[in-house]
Chain A
């Protein structure tokens, strides 16, 4: 059993509040991702769990034990760094065996475990080389092997794929996830790339400005973001968020003459949930918009991106706002043409501009 619990954990650096008091419970065998932009506090939180950083307040519990002030080596966790942190003067095999030797394990045990892990990660062919002679992908595999060989209670990974080429990142991503499926070890993974978080996480903890914004499964944070930050951050491109004024079932959007008829299910919630003046933000994902010559909404082409099997069209709807729509690759959209579209009523979301929180639809009887 390796559950991790953070109770009101916070971190201050002098006057800077790097991590505001947060509560988090990580289940045994879960792959949880701390996701957020640079400086949001995710790496500091990870380092506090590992003991490489002290806490300014709160407690950390590993398997029901209070480990807040325990030495990192006494916590039974393994840490994988972004820049591999392999010992340059040892061969790959010696690097992998190092943690076990440090713990004073018997020679046969070390050999056996190292061979197991090497087979799992398919790095038999690099064992005799020194880290400096290996490619980034191989180095990261060796770093992973070194972490795995100890069979710790939990793995902590700090943006391990950040230093790799884009195509390597994809294959290493599935490998790490595959490993997790096989070994089922509790893993806490930190990244700024929401694609990684969505692909790998059982649950995602979205962080920004030292606070947790939302905790949920990939489906939850994608389809029901709890505030503007999560809506914008998850998805590439993120959710379209357009300002407007709501009155009598219609949202009047600033800019080109766009009046959006709100779906029935939302009318009640909007009447109650908005402040005076009816300011509202309409949110819809790029795939929720359907291009249609008779569509009720319109925008002007700003740029178009071919992305392989599909394309993304970027439209301006007023001076400041650009929205993104998924389209078929084959249709050309020259700069500055007007494009009409509709929003799929089931995929529309609404937010309160002042609180930035998402509005919930009313439950119909």
Chain B
């Protein structure tokens, strides 16, 4: 066991900390740890950085090796993302280029790549579907999960442990394994390519996670609070709303974010069970085709747009998340 010399930091230490943590040599360790963390963070962020850069590159810049870090940014990617275009025939192209006329910025941009804008693409529509389906299913799974978790936590239920395990077991299966049976089932029910069908599917899949997570949070709330309320003249339901709910807010926030992330990013089921009406963003973004293959700049721009709603929600709930994610580990 190393013993430290009998010296310490020059300045007094004003946080609660053990003696061996403020040894002069320990400070080097701290700097090294910080540098290491920064390096790892940077490496983790590279894909995101590449994506953002790609969204602003022209087709040529994207495909030529080596990958360019410095380039002339353009909004081509966004153009390809948001609009449906068709290529000018050589004759029409010359004509259009000769008479620019009143073309707005986007039309001019399209012209410079030899295309004409036909109308908006279905990207916005897909994004809307994602919001509706992921949002609704998250709300449903959190609400249902909350009531179920409360029941599991507070009541004596026959075979409680078995039921809880059964609920957890639904998560043990990789989703893709059940896509074919689901597809057939949905076709039978007429739920193929419907919003309702997708919402129900995501809710069911998220329920296991939300019940387990929320039960952990509710277990942490001392039961004496509700008992005091019962004795004071409140029904169980009233006690639930007035006492348990306010204290479970952290857990609800954490669960909401996790369920949202799953439903939002879900790819396999969305690909197999939707086609036109209810198609969400993930399958449509990944398969955007351009004239020479996958339209990389559009994909990058589309991913960027896809990232933003979830980023906003997580950012808004970050305070609750932090408290929620460390539940039980940090004691008062």
Contacts and interface: CB of A to CB of B under 8 A. Distances in A.
Contacts of B7: 69
Given A69-B8, A69-B23, A70-B6, 5 more contacts: A14-B14, A51-B18, A69-B5, A69-B19, A71-B20
18 contacts: A13-B16, A14-B15, A51-B19, A51-B20, A52-B19, A54-B8, A54-B19, A54-B21, A54-B22, A56-B13, A68-B8, A69-B4, A69-B8, A69-B22, A70-B6, A72-B19, A73-B1, A74-B1
Interface of B: 1-8, 12-23
B3 A72 contact: no
Does more than half of chain B's interface fall in helix, strand or loop, or is it mixed?
Answer: loop
Nearest to A18: B16
A12 B23 contact: no
A288 to B, nearest CB: 43
A53 interface: yes
Interface string A44-73: 000000011111110000000011111111
A54 B3 contact: no
Nearest to B13: A54
Contacts of B18: 51-54, 72
A71 B6 contact: no
A70 B1 CA distance: 12
A17 to B, nearest CB: 10
Contacts of A52: 18-19
A256 B21 CA distance: 61
A73 B7 CA distance: 16
A71 B19 contact: yes
A73 B3 CA distance: 9
B3 A74 contact: yes
Contacts of A54: 8, 13, 17-19, 21-22
B19 A57 contact: no
B24 to A, nearest CB: 9
A359 B21 CA distance: 47
A57 B12 contact: yes
B17 to A, nearest CB: 6
A14 B16 CA distance: 9
A71 B4 contact: yes
A69 B6 contact: yes
B130 to A, nearest CB: 46
B128 to A, nearest CB: 49
Contacts of B16: 13, 53
Nearest to B21: A54
Contacts of A70: 3-4, 6, 19
